[in-house]
Amino acid sequence: MTTPGAPDVPGAVNLRDVGGLPAGESVTRHGVLFRSGNLAQLEPAGTAALGGLGLRRIIDLRADEEVAHAPSRLDGLEVTTQRVPLFLGSVESFFADDISLDEMYRRLVEDSSSLVVEVVRGILADQPVLVHCTVGKDRTGVTVALTLAAAGVDADAVVSDYARTEGMLPEWRNRRIVQFLRSMHPEAVHLEDLATRSPAPVMRAMLDGIDASYGSAADYLRAHGLADDEVAELRRVLLRPV
């Protein structure tokens, strides 16, 4: 089954186009910025379908061990792959420490700010571009949300795009991964949130925190090295007038 804005790419996890989001008197362009989870389960038809999107760059936010365990199936595609491992620590550590999504996102925003800017610069370098991690929920969710907000996308639309992930993760996948993680962390309180959920209030709180600390998502990126002309270019690349 295909959902709106989600290209049919067999084997892809949580893949979608972020086009069509309102941004004041503009809207995000279709076919420019895509987001997803890992590309390790692509069927041959999926690799071909991914190629049909015309991607020029794929930005992989996973750590080295994740890439080694589940390499992307991109054989035959002429595309630049940019590696930006976004966590300063392992994915496993977040489950072991049993942190909340709010805390994970706070750490990501504050500790990986230079890497977030690196991702935004990758988006500016080539389009169409796909940003992905393992599930496409947290690292991808935060980075794409900051990118969209900095471009001027309405906050409600940014939050809604993030929250879509929860409905795009197959129930069988959630059940299997929660069972596996629960066997290792039986007392963890935040395990299911970390593994399967993308609650709108969490993203709303993250964006509100950015605004309170920096003024806006664009100012957050500026504070960590993005130039004014790059912010302007981001808006030009991602938006078109209604």
101, 133, 145, 217: which one is catalytic?
133
Q: Residue 47 is encoded by which pair of tokens?
A: 């690799």
| Burial of residue 2, with CB atoms counted within 10 A of its CB: 0-12 exposed, 13-18 middle, 19 or more buried | exposed
User: Is 133 one of the catalytic residues?
Assistant: yes
| Burial of residue 106, with CB atoms counted within 10 A of its CB: 0-12 exposed, 13-18 middle, 19 or more buried | middle
Is 119 in contact with 152 (CB distance < 8 Å)?
Answer: no
Q: How far apart are CA 192 and CA 222, in angstroms?
A: 34
Q: How far apart are CA 147 and CA 158, in angstroms?
A: 9
Q: Residue 136 is encoded by which pair of tokens?
A: 């496409």
Report the relative pairing of strands 239-241 and 26-28 from DSSP bridges: antiparallel
Q: Residue 128 is encoded by which pair of tokens?
A: 């169409």
Provide CB contacts within 8 A for 53, sequence distance 6+: 7, 9, 31, 34, 128, 130
Element (H or E) spanning 108, and its range? helix 101-111
Active site residues: 133
